[in-house]
C-alpha cells in the first residue's frame, strides 16, 4: 500500500474473520493518517462536485477531503459538521457506494474516492484527540421544539434546531438514546463509544433528552404542543413484520428487532452478568436479504452459533443489503441460501422451533422495484434444521403516534403524510424518516430530519435558517 | 424521578410500592402497565399499575419477588429511585355497563383486578369479587376489594381462609346456583385464566383476561409478547394486555412464557441478596459483589 496516486482506493485494514466471531469489536479498523492522506490526494477536487449531489445532507466533500490532504484532520471534521453533525456515524453506516461514491468521476475508470472511510477518519481523529468543540450558538430564539424519537432523524433535526438557537427536547421511549443506532445496529458496525460521543455532542449543543417517555402514551402530541411551539415526529418504522406462516409463534422465533434489541441494548451477549437472556441455537436461520438480516446473522455467529444461514427469496444480486455487509457476513461463515421462501416452521412438543420448510423459487419478471421477482417452482419444497429463526423482513409504521393524534393524516399503511416541507396535516407538527417513508437508511432519515428542521425554523421565525440545506429547495 | 415514597410487604414476598411518577399518574387508566428496570445491567419487565393519584403524582405497584428483577426491586428502600420507569403502556380496559360482573384474581393477580373492578363499579355495574390464594397469609387486598365490590368471596387452596378450593370452584358454584353473571374478569397465573375461560365458555359468559407474556420494550417494537387470539397474532403490549378469554391460545402463551425458564435459573443463582438499600455502589447479581463476598 503506497501513498502514490493510483486507480485503486486505499484499502482499509479489518479485523480477521476468525477473531471477529469471538467478539463484538468493530470490524473495519479505520485508516491511519498516512492512508487517509494518500487517499485524500487522489481526489480530483472537481469544480462542480457530483459527489455532493449524491449526499442526502450535502456534506462539503471536496473541501473536507482537501483538508485531510493538508493533514488538517480536525478542521476536516469540523467542515463536515457544518452540514452533518454526526460524521463518525455516517462514515460507518452510510451506503456511500450508492450515494456519494457512485457519483465520483474517478469511479468511471478506476475506484471512486473512499469518501466514507475519509469521513470516518476525520471524525475519529477529532474524537480521539479530544478536539470536539460545539460551535458557538446564536442567541436563544425563545422557541421550543419537541423531537419525538432519538434515532438518526431526530438527532439530525435536533442538532440543526439547537444550532439555530431553539430550545430542543428529544423524547425517547427506551432508557437510552440513539434509536435504531442503539437497539438495531450492532456494535461491531457502530461501537457504542462512537454513538455515545455523537450523542454527547448533541448535549453540548444544548439539546435536552427525556428517556423513558413514550409519546402516544406518556403524553400525546397535543400535550407536547402545550409545552413546545413545534413537534418533529421521527418515531421510525418500529413495528416488526412477520411472515404470517404457520409456526411463527414457536419458541425460538424472533423478530430481528427483538433479537438485536436483546443483544445491542440489553447486552444479552453478556448474560448472566447482564440479566436479559437470548436464545441462539446451533442452527440459526435468518429470513431476509437486507442490512438488518446481515446484522442478525453476524450477531448470531458472535453468540456462538455454528450454522447460520440467511434465507432470501431472490438471489444475491437482488439483495438490498450493502455489498460490504454481505461480504463481511460471508467472511464470518454465514451461509446464504437463495431463492428460498419460508412456508412453515415446524416444532417439537414443547413448542420449540426445530425446522423450517421453504418453497423453492426462481426469478421471474422485474417488479415495480426493478428487481426480478421471485416465482414459486410448483411442488419443489425443502426442509432445513432451525432451532432459532430470526425474521428480518422489514417493519410496519409504528401506530402509537398516529392512533393518539386524531388530526394527523396518515398515508399508505399508516405512515404519516407530509408535504414537501415535512409539515403534516396538523399545525406545528412535522415528520420525517421511516415513519414517513417506511424503512430506509440512517442518512436518509438524517436528511429528512434536516429538511424538517429547516421548515420548523421557517415556521417559528418566518426566516430562512442561517446555514440550511439551501440546495434542497 | 421515580422515587419510592412508600413500601410495605403485604404478604410473604409480595410488595406494595408507591412511586412518584407524575406523568404516568396523570395519564394512566385501568388495565395499563409500566415497564421497569431497576439496575443498569437489569432486565426490562412489566408491572400493572394498581392505582394512581394524579394530585400526589404517584402510582401504586404490587409485585411478587420471584425473579431476579423483582427480587432486586423488593430490596429497594423508601427514598430510593427506580432506575427506569416508563408508561403507562398497553390499552386501557374497555369499561362498559355490563350488568352483574364477577372479578377474580389469583394470588397477586388480585392487584391488577383492583383498578378494573373500581372502573366497572363506577360505570354502574354490580360487582362480585373472588379473591383466591394458596393460603390465608397470601390473601391480599381484601379490604380494598370489600370497599369496591358488592360481595367478596375468599378462597384458599388449603382452606385456611374462606372457601377451600380454587377461584374457579367458587365461580362454578355461582354458575350452578343460577346466579346472573354478565361479565367475568380473571387475572392470575395463566393456568387459572385458562380454567376460567373453559368454565365460562359453555355458558357464553363474556370473559376478559389480562395476559402477561414476556416483553422487552412494551411499545410494539420487538414482538416478543405476541399471542394468538382468534387465530391471529397480536402484540399484547399495544393491542392488549386484555383479550377475550375465549379466543386466547393459552397453550401457546404458557409455552412462550417458559422460553427462558432454564436461563432464568442461571441468573437467579448469580443473585445475592443484599441487606442494605440498593445504591449506585452496589451491583447485585454481578461478579463484583461475589468477589466482595468472597473476601469477607
Sequence ranges of the domains in chain A: 17-128, 144-238+397-471, 240-394
CB contact under 8 A, B222 and A240: yes
Q: Which of B261, B210, B273 is nearest to B236 (CA)?
A: B210
For domain B4-89+261-290, the question of CATH label 1.10.486.10 is answered with no
Longest CA span, chain A: 70
Rounded to the nearest angstrom, the minimum Cα separation between A258 and chain B is 4
- ipTM value: 0.89
* Smallest Cα distance from A440 to chain B, Å: 17
**DSSP, res A113:** P
A213 touches chain B (CB under 8 A): yes
Main-chain dihedrals φ then ψ at residue A72, nearest 5 degrees? -95, 75
C-beta atoms of B86 and A255 within 8 A: no
Query: What distance in Å separates the CA atoms of residue B164 and residue A249, rounded to the nearest whole number?
Result: 38
**A17-128 matches A240-394 in fold:** no
Q: Does A254 touch chain B (CB under 8 A)?
A: yes
* Beta carbons of A130 and A136 less than 8 angstroms apart: no
Q: Which residues of A are less than 8 Å from B27 in CB distance?
A: 217-219
Inter-chain residue contact B224 with A275, CB threshold 8 Å: no
Which of A212, A217, A251 shows the shortest C-beta gap to B85? A212
Q: What is the pTM of this model?
A: 0.91
Q: Which of residues 6-45 of A touch B (CB under 8 A)?
A: none
The CATH class of the B100-214 domain is: alpha beta
Which residues lie across from A291 on neighbouring strands?
none
Q: Is A248 on the interface with B (CB under 8 A)?
A: yes
N-term to C-term CA, chain B: 35
d(CA A437, CA A415): 7
Give the residue from A149, A151, A212, A279 with the most B CB atoms within 10 Å of its CB, the best one to mutate. A212
DSSP class of A102: G
Do the chains contact at A240 and B68, CB–CB below 8 Å?
Answer: no
The one-digit pLDDT tens for each residue of chain B (296 residues) are: 899 999 999 999 999 999 999 999 999 999 999 999 999 999 999 999 999 999 999 999 999 998 889 999 999 999 999 999 999 999 999 999 999 999 999 888 899 999 999 999 999 999 999 999 999 998 899 999 999 999 999 999 998 988 999 999 999 999 999 999 999 999 999 999 999 999 999 999 999 999 999 999 999 999 999 999 999 999 999 999 999 999 999 999 999 999 998 887 766 666 555 434 444 344 443 333 333 333 32
Domain boundaries A144-238+397-471, corresponding CATH code: 3.50.50.60
Which of 3.40.50.12280, 3.50.50.60, 3.90.320.10, 3.40.50.720 would CATH assign to domain A240-394? 3.50.50.60
**CB within 8 Å: B233 and A248:** yes
Encode pLDDT of B241-267 as tens digits.
999 999 999 999 999 999 998 887 766
Size of interface A-B (CB pairs under 8 A): 125
- Give me the residue from A249, A251, A400 closest to B219, CB to CB: A400
Per-residue DSSP letters for B193-228? HHHHHHHHGGGT-EEEEE-----SSSSSSS-TTEEE
Q: Do A249 and B221 touch (CB under 8 A)?
A: no
The pLDDT tens digits for A348-383 are 999 999 999 999 999 998 888 788 889 999 999 999
Domain locations along chain B: 4-89+261-290, 100-214
**Nearest chain A Cα distance for residue B76, angstroms:** 18
Q: Indicate left, alpha or beta for A142 from its phi (over 0: left) and psi (-120 to 50: alpha).
A: left
How near does any CA of chain B get to the CA of A205, in Å? 24
Q: How far is CA A149 from CA A195, A210, A228, A431, in A?
A: 15, 10, 15, 11
Q: Please give the CATH number for the structural domain made up of A17-128.
A: 1.10.1060.10
Amino acid at each position: 500500500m503506497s501513498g502514490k496516486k493510483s486507480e485503486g482506493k486505499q484499502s482499509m485494514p479489518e479485523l480477521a474473520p476468525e477473531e471477529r466471531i469471538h467478539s463484538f469489536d468493530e470490524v473495519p479498523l479505520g485508516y491511519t493518517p498516512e492512508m487517509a492522506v494518500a487517499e485524500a490526494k487522489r481526489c480530483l477536487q472537481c469544480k462542480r462536485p457530483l459527489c455532493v449531489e449524491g449526499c442526502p445532507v450535502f456534506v462539503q466533500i471536496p473541501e473536507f477531503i482537501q483538508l485531510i490532504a493538508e493533514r488538517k484532520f480536525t478542521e476536516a471534521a469540523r467542515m463536515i459538521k457544518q452540514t452533518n453533525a454526526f460524521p463518525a456515524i455516517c462514515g460507518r453506516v452510510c451506503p456511500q457506494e450508492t450515494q456519494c461514491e457512485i457519483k465520483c468521476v474517478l469511479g468511471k475508470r478506476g475506484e471512486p474516492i473512499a469518501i466514507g472511510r475519509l469521513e470516518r477518519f476525520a471524525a475519529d481523529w477529532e474524537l480521539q484527540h479530544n478536539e470536539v468543540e460545539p460551535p458557538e450558538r446564536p442567541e436563544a430564539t425563545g422557541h421550543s421544539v419537541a423531537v419525538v424519537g432519538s434515532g438518526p432523524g431526530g438527532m439530525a433535526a435536533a442538532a440543526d434546531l439547537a444550532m439555530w438557537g431553539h430550545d430542543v427536547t428529544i423524547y425517547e421511549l427506551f432508557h437510552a438514546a440513539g434509536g435504531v443506532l442503539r437497539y438495531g445496529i450492532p456494535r461491531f458496525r457502530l461501537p457504542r463509544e462512537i454513538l455515545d460521543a455523537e450523542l454527547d455532542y448533541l448535549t453540548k449543543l444544548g439539546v435536552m433528552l427525556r428517556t423513558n417517555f413514550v409519546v402516544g402514551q406518556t403524553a400525546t402530541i397535543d400535550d407536547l404542543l402545550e409545552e413546545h411551539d413545534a413537534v418533529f415526529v421521527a418515531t421510525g418504522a418500529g413495528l416488526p413484520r412477520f411472515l404470517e406462516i404457520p409456526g411463527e409463534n414457536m419458541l425460538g422465533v424472533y423478530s430481528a428487532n427483538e433479537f438485536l434489541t436483546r443483544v445491542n441494548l440489553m447486552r444479552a451477549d453478556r448474560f448472566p452478568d447482564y440479566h436479559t437472556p437470548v436464545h441462539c441455537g446451533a442452527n440459526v436461520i435468518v429470513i431476509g436479504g437486507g442490512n438488518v438480516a446481515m446484522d442478525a446473522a453476524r450477531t448470531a455467529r458472535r453468540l456462538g452459533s455454528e450454522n447460520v444461514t440467511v434465507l432470501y427469496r431472490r438471489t444475491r444480486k437482488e439483495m438490498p443489503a450493502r455489498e460490504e455487509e454481505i461480504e463481511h457476513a460471508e467472511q464470518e461463515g454465514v451461509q446464504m441460501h437463495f431463492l428460498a421462501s419460508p412456508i412453515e416452521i415446524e416444532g417439537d412438543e414443547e413448542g420449540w422451533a426445530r425446522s423450517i420448510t421453504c418453497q423453492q423459487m426462481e426469478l421471474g419478471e422485474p417488479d415495480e422495484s426493478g428487481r426480478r421477482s421471485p416465482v414459486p417452482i410448483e411442488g419443489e419444497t425443502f426442509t432445513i434444521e432451525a432451532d432459532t429463526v430470526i425474521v428480518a423482513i422489514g417493519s410496519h409504521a409504528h401506530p402509537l403516534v398516529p392512533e393518539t393524534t386524531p388530526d394527523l393524516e396518515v398515508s399508505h399503511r399508516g405512515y404519516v403524510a407530509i408535504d414537501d416541507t415535512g409539515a403534516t396535516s396538523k399545525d406545528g407538527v412535522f415528520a420525517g424518516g421511516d415513519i414517513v417513508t417506511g424503512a430506509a437508511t440512517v442518512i436518509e432519515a438524517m436528511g429528512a430530519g434536516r429538511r424538517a428542521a429547516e421548515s420548523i425554523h421557517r415556521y417559528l421565525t418566518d426566516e430562512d435558517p442561517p446555514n440550511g440545506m439551501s440546495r434542497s429547495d | 424521578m421515580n422515587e419510592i415514597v412508600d413500601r410495605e410487604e403485604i404478604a410473604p414476598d409480595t410488595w406494595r410500592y408507591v412511586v412518584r411518577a407524575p406523568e404516568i399518574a396523570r395519564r394512566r387508566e385501568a388495565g395499563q402497565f409500566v415497564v421497569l428496570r431497576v439496575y443498569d445491567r437489569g432486565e426490562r419487565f412489566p408491572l400493572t399499575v394498581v392505582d394512581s393519584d394524579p394530585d400526589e403524582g404517584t402510582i401504586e405497584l404490587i409485585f411478587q419477588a420471584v425473579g431476579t428483577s423483582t427480587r432486586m426491586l423488593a430490596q429497594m428502600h423508601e427514598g430510593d429511585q427506580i432506575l427506569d420507569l416508563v408508561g403507562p403502556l398497553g390499552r386501557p380496559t374497555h369499561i362498559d355497563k355490563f350488568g352483574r360482573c364477577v372479578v377474580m384474581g389469583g394470588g397477586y393477580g388480585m392487584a391488577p383486578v383492583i383498578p378494573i373492578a373500581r372502573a366497572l363499579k363506577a360505570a354502574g355495574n354490580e360487582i362480585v369479587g373472588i379473591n383466591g390464594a394458596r393460603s390465608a397469609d397470601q390473601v391480599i387486598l381484601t379490604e380494598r376489594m370489600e370497599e369496591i365490590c358488592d360481595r367478596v368471596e375468599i378462597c384458599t387452596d388449603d382452606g385456611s381462609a374462606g372457601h377451600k378450593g380454587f377461584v374457579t370452584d367458587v365461580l362454578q358454584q355461582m354458575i350452578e346456583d343460577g346466579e346472573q353473571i354478565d361479565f367475568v374478569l380473571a387475572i392470575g397465573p395463566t393456568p387459572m385464566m385458562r380454567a376460567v375461560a373453559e368454565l365460562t365458555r359453555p355458558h357464553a359468559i363474556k370473559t376478559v383476561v389480562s395476559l402477561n407474556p414476556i416483553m422487552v420494550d412494551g411499545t410494539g417494537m420487538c414482538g416478543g409478547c405476541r399471542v394468538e387470539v382468534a387465530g391471529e397474532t397480536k402484540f399484547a403490549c399495544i393491542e392488549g394486555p386484555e383479550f377475550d378469554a375465549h379466543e386466547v391460545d393459552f397453550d401457546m402463551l404458557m409455552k412462550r412464557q417458559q422460553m427462558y425458564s432454564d436461563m432464568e435459573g442461571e441468573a437467579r443463582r448469580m443473585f445475592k441478596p443484599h441487606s442494605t438499600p440498593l445504591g449506585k455502589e452496589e451491583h447485585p447479581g454481578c461478579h463484583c459483589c461475589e468477589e466482595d463476598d468472597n473476601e469477607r
